[in-house]
Amino acid sequence: MSLARDMITLVAVSAGAFFFLAGTIGLLRFPDTLTRLHALTKADNLGLGLVVLGLLPQAASVRDALKLISVWLLALLAGATVSQLIARAAREARTTR
Amino acid sequence: MNIASTFELMLAAVVLGLGIWTIAVHETYSAAVGFVAYGLLVALIWVRLDAVDVALTEAAISGGLGGVLLLGAAARLRHAELMVAEVPDRLTRVSAAVLSVMTAAALVGAVLWLPDSAPTLAPEVVANAWATSLTNPVTNVLMAFRAMDTMLEKVVLLLAIIGVWSLAPDTAWGGRPGPRHRADPNGVLVFLARLLPPAGIAIAVYILWTGANHPGGAFQGGAILAAMWLLAVMAGLTDTPAVGRRWLRLILVAGPALFLVVGLGGLWFGTAFLAYPTAQAKPLIVVIEVAMIQTIAATLGLLLTGAPERSAKP
Amino acid sequence: MSGVNVFGLYAAAAVGLGLYGMITSPQPLRKIIAFNLLGSGVFLLFGVVGRRGAAAGIGNDPVPQALVITGVVVAFSATALAVALLLRLSEKASSTTLSSGPAGRAGSDPPGH
Amino acid sequence: MSDFLTAAVGFILAMLALGLVSILRGPGDEDRMMAAQLIGTGGIAALLLLGTVTDVPAAIDVALTLALLATFASIAFVKKGLSSLEADAPRKTEDR
């Protein structure tokens, strides 16, 4: 049982780390603001989600597990809305520049 | 060198890099952005130092609210600051560098040569925890053993807000601080500002409540409440209140006033100023904290919005 | 324990950096930011020393922790007051330098109105 | 298990550092606005892993606070980075 839990953690956290890697490569390599924003919000939010998924089997209680999930939900909400606002700011800056 | 200490080196390096960026970067707006990132990341160091109460405070007050305060000022001073070109001469910079390096070296010496097991008050705090029946040692120190410090700190907050308000120009005396924000009522920002504050308020109340036995408390919860209120203000959902309002002033003094009343009650009924009767210690502390979270949230939020700028009458 | 010393060394570096920035930054706002960095270094020094005082099942001496929490709030109040003074100064004098050089060169109105 | 999670914290911190370098380098303010967003994901992931490794369950509460404050800071970045305060104002070329 403990082994199975550890396996889930191992796989999910590794996958999460991979998405953080992908997001960072995107940030470093993509040419302009909008594509970099895309790399940041999509890949990193998925990475955080997988890390949360991997930590769920290690959580001490149901309450901790629920809090972990709400951390991810908050991050998703922030990613979805803030990225739009930043993208608009970027477009405005490009048209007025 | 094992994995754990490599991670610590890396965390210290990231935070140091942000610190250097904050001091060295040319533009003030970028420095303020760097400082926000710095303040949020320092919370990780505090978690590693096993001081979660401080981690919460640093993340909420220092990084979040303090960073945004500096950022707002940087945005408003942007045009004025570009004009300033008087960089200090070489001699000043070199002597400043020498002084800074010497100070840092002295502190490094202190860190390295002070005894590794420092004298500690932790056992005494634990031994006296029965007096309040709270199990979070930091809350015990803040609210009971050193309650005087915490009460005076509320007075400092009050003095700061009086100082900020007294900078208002005559035309806006007692008026509303900050500009009136507007946003598309069907837009993304308003959507977020309607959705996030309920969750934020629930989390703030949870942080206040859990502070009795686990890390948390009125400061951290109050800072979250202030951030949620400012979010609604930035989305144009609500306006800042005119600072001359009586209800507002009542909220601002409620926390320290209740603290003072309880303290004088200790002098009257008990043995000393701020001495809680043991049986009622926990309810009294909870009542003070509930009053304080409102005062703290209002004070922090209003400190961020600054001096009144618009007349109270629209 | 050696790992925690890394943060002690970093805290000393932050104090040095903040001090340097406070002396050499020409803009007052940068001085305020540097002051906050210096403060953060001092708080971390408290944290490292408190970590060494871990005892009785508590990972960090609660008394310095409480002092740091109080310190963070007081530093925030001081920063808010300093920023308000600075904004008012820039409105009044249209210049944010602290030196007595020729004032009135900078833009008169803060943006955002 | 603990070694693996510590290594994961280190890796995510390294990614965070590289990402911060890229974001802070700019060139524009719009790029720098992403800084708080990056900490809202990468920093929180590192924090949650760290809390599990060092057995500090309250780290999750810090993560909740960070998530809220990072969002707040992001909105402030967007608002303050623009010359006008109308970050989300309706305009003619809106493609909603």
Position B25 scores a pLDDT of: 83
Supply the range of the domain harboring residue C54.
2-93
Summary mean pLDDT of chain A = 83
Position C110 scores a pLDDT of: 42
Q: Is residue B311 part of a domain?
A: yes
pLDDT tops 50 at residue C59 = yes
B51:C60 CB<8 A: yes
pLDDT tops 70 at residue C101 = no
> A and B: touch, per 3+ CB pairs < 8 A?
yes
Position C15 scores a pLDDT of: 92
B49:C80 CB<8 A: no
Sign of the C-alpha dihedral, residues D61, D66, D69, D75?
negative
Number of domains chain C is built from: 1
Cα–Cα distance list, B51 to A91, B21, B57, B148, C50 (Å): 42, 26, 10, 22, 9
Position C102 scores a pLDDT of: 46
B2 — pLDDT class (breaks 50, 70, 90): low
Q: Among B121-135, B161-175, C90-104, which range has the highest average pLDDT?
A: B161-175
What mean pLDDT comes out for the span B101-122? 81
Position A87 scores a pLDDT of: 82
Of B70, B87, B159, the CB nearest to C83: B70
What mean pLDDT comes out for the span C84-90? 85
* DSSP designation for B176: E
Cα–Cα distance list, C28 to A73, B164, C90 (Å): 40, 17, 11
Q: How many CB pairs under 8 A join C and D?
A: 5
Number of domains chain B is built from: 1
pLDDT tops 80 at residue B252 = yes
B3:D10 CB<8 A: yes
Sequential DSSP letters for D11-46: HHHHHHHHHHHHHHT-SSHHHHTHHHHHIIIIIHHH
pLDDT tops 70 at residue A67 = yes
Summary mean pLDDT of chain B = 82
B55:D62 CB<8 A: yes
Q: Is residue C9 part of a domain?
A: yes
Supply the range of the domain harboring residue B243.
135-314
Q: Subunits with at least 3 CB pairs below 8 A relative to chain A?
A: B, D
Beta bridge partners of C58: C55
pLDDT tops 60 at residue D96 = no
Position B170 scores a pLDDT of: 79
pLDDT tops 70 at residue B82 = no
Position C16 scores a pLDDT of: 92
D92 — pLDDT class (breaks 50, 70, 90): very low
D50:B228 CB<8 A: no
Q: Is residue C99 part of a domain?
A: no
Peptide bond into D27 cis (omega under 30): yes
Among A60, C38, A31, A9, which residue's Cα sits nearest to residue B38?
Answer: C38
B267 — pLDDT class (breaks 50, 70, 90): confident
Contacts of D84 in chain C (CB under 8 A): 112
pLDDT tops 50 at residue A66 = yes
Which residues make Cβ contacts (< 8 Å) with residue D11, sequence separation at least 6?
A17, A20, A21
Q: Is residue B270 part of a domain?
A: yes
pLDDT tops 50 at residue C111 = no
Position B268 scores a pLDDT of: 78
Contacts of C59 in chain D (CB under 8 A): 56
Q: Subunits with at least 3 CB pairs below 8 A relative to chain C?
A: B, D
Position C98 scores a pLDDT of: 55
Of D6, D24, D56, the CB nearest to B47: D56
Contacts of C85 in chain B (CB under 8 A): 167
Domain boundaries of chain D, sorted by first residue: 2-81
Token pair belonging to B135: 């199990």
Of A20, A33, A52, the CB nearest to D12: A20
Q: Is residue B83 part of a domain?
A: no
Position D93 scores a pLDDT of: 39
Q: Give B232: exposed, middle or buried? Use CB within 10 Å, 0-12, 13-18, 19+.
A: middle
ipTM of this predicted structure: 0.86
pLDDT tops 70 at residue D89 = no
CATH code of the domain covering residue C43: 1.10.287
Q: Is residue B183 part of a domain?
A: yes
Q: Could you read off the pLDDT of C6-58 as tens digits, one per residue?
A: 888 889 999 999 999 888 888 888 889 999 999 999 999 888 888 877 776 77
Q: Subunits with at least 3 CB pairs below 8 A relative to chain B?
A: A, C, D
Position D85 scores a pLDDT of: 47
Which has more pLDDT, B180 or C33?
C33
> What is the distance in angstroms between the Cα of B189 and the nearest Cα belonging to chain D?
6
CA angle D6, A37, D18 (to 5 degrees): 35
> What is the distance in angstroms between the Cα of C113 and the nearest Cα belonging to chain D?
8
Type of residue found at B242 = A
Which has more pLDDT, C110 or B235?
B235
* DSSP designation for D42: I
Ramachandran area for residue B118 (φ above 0: left; ψ -120 to 50: alpha; else beta)? beta
Q: Which residues 14-73 on chain A approach chain D with CB closer than 8 angstroms?
A: 14, 16-17, 20-21, 23-24, 27-28, 33, 36-37, 40-41, 44-45, 47-48, 51-52, 55, 58, 60, 64, 67-68, 70-71
Position C113 scores a pLDDT of: 37
Radius of gyration of chain D, Cα coordinates, nearest whole angstrom: 17
B8 — pLDDT class (breaks 50, 70, 90): confident
